[in-house]
Amino acid sequence: MLVSQRQIRKQQKGLTLVEVLVALAIIAITMVMFGYFSSSLQATGNSRRETAAANFARSYLDALRSQWQDLTMYRDGGRESGNARSNPPFLEVPDGFTFYTVDIERRNVTGVVVGTPTQFNSTAGEAAFNWQDENDTDFMRLVTLTLTDAQGETYTYSTQVVRPTTDQTP
């Protein structure tokens, strides 16, 4: 029996169920792959920021510990000897970050806070640190560095620096 062209066209007006299911499967696989790649890119960006923050904190806290190995720098910031270095040190804010703050608490031998805590803000560029030791009771300093990125997320690092003795002075 001969089928006319008109009858064939009438039978094929839409898509078959198999064709629709194959198209949906392709779309679903594509969406899953885009989701995977976007989450990978986001994780890579987060890791990059965390690594940059950790490297900056390590550099800053090492520079601070290096300066405070000298008893004169630890006690009065080197002001008596006419030292022109910023104490605590000032380092440029790394790319992708807006500013950092350094909080310094002075503590005595038993760990009790002595004097008032000091905050150094990188946007101000100058620390309002009280370099006068009260009867040489400043035994240790707790230093907390907080770095803020462009998205407002903060990264916090801390260290303790013990007062050097005269025989450790370079």
Give the tokens for residue 13.
Answer: 């007006």
pLDDT for position 170:
46
Distance in angstroms (rounded) separating the CA atoms of residues 122 and 102: 8
Classify 122 as helix, strand or coil.
coil
Over residues 124-164, the pLDDT tens digits come to 655 556 555 555 667 888 999 999 998 899 999 999 998 88
Instruction: State which amino acid sits at residue 142.
Output: L
Give the tokens for residue 81.
Answer: 């000897």
DSSP lists the bridge partners of residue 29 as: none
Q: Is residue 71 packed enough to be buried (19+ CB in 10 Å), middle (13-18) or exposed (0-12)?
A: middle
Which 8-state DSSP code applies to residue 14?
S
The residues of the chain scoring below 70 in pLDDT are 1-12, 77-87, 124-137, 166-170
